[in-house]
Amino acid sequence: MSRVPLLPDRPRPLVFAHRGCSSLAPENTFAAFQKARETGAPGIELDVHASADGRLVVAHDDTFLRTAPADNNGNGKKLEELTSGEIGRIDVGSFFDPAFSNERPPFLEEVLEEFCPALYVDIELKSRKTKNDPLPELLAEKLVSMGGKIAASVSVSSFNPVCLSSFKKAWRRGPEPVPAAVIFCVDKELPWLLRRGFGRFIAGCDYLKPEYTQVTAFSRFRWAGIGKRPVVPWTVDDRAAAEAFLRPGPAGIPGCEGIVTNRPQDMTGLAKAGSRIPG
């Protein structure tokens, strides 16, 4: 199967600021993405849900219960039950620090307009559905509408291989291929078969995003060496660990293509050490 190269024109290693610079600002907010840019991070990672009226809202959880005050969290409703107008009034900054109390959940097109193509963006599809899911189609439509603004600047990922497969099918009409990754970790919330990355066979993905604890020389040999899929572990917050993941192993075992990190401010210089790879 032909695979889409992972952002081939971007310097290696790839460095994605997890939910923006979420160690210094509230996750998945403009403040976090701006802070990532200020630290010199070459890329950001974010999460998207579909609102009740079909907008793509940047947020991690199914609800705002964790990231918004009790009197301003959408009454605990799921994001898919809230309209974009309701979402736009929710405070998602004060949970981190009162200084960020004016932060509102951004919409995907706003983030892409502001940060692409200077930064590359990994868009994580947040969905538990296996059928009748509007999210993949909505994302494909949004990316097509943005045209050259996001060319060679976007990748898509998900824990849900069915959702990811649906996106790839919806994207066939897109102007250029978009690399896609299955995300996985050893977590009882995930079905057993998905905890070791076997969702890659359902999604037909182009690269892999395992939790960093699952990345070893042997797994890199299986996934990147034999499987020929680039590996980008999450969430790597220690610089020495990042450097170890990025180094090639013995007997030609590939190093990771990049990392996802909460602390891009500690990874300055990693991206500059890499080189561009051919498409």
Tell me the catalytic residues. Answer: 18, 60
How many CA atoms, within 13 angstroms, populate the side-chain half-sphere of residue 106? 22
| SS3 of residue 257 by DSSP | coil
Report the alpha-carbon distance of residue 220 to residue 46 in Å, rounded: 25
Is residue 14 within a helix (H) or strand (E), and if so which, with residue range? strand 14-18
Q: Amino acid letter at 185?
A: C
Instruction: Find how far residue 201's CA is from the centre of its chain.
Output: 20
Give 75's strand partners. Answer: none
Closest to 211 (Cα-Cα) out of 178, 161, 259, 274: 259
Give 50's strand partners. Answer: 56
> CA dihedral in degrees (43, 204, 199, 263; nearest 10)?
-10
3-state DSSP percent of the chain in helix, strand and coil, to 5: 35, 15, 50
Is residue 273 within a helix (H) or strand (E), and if so which, with residue range? helix 270-273
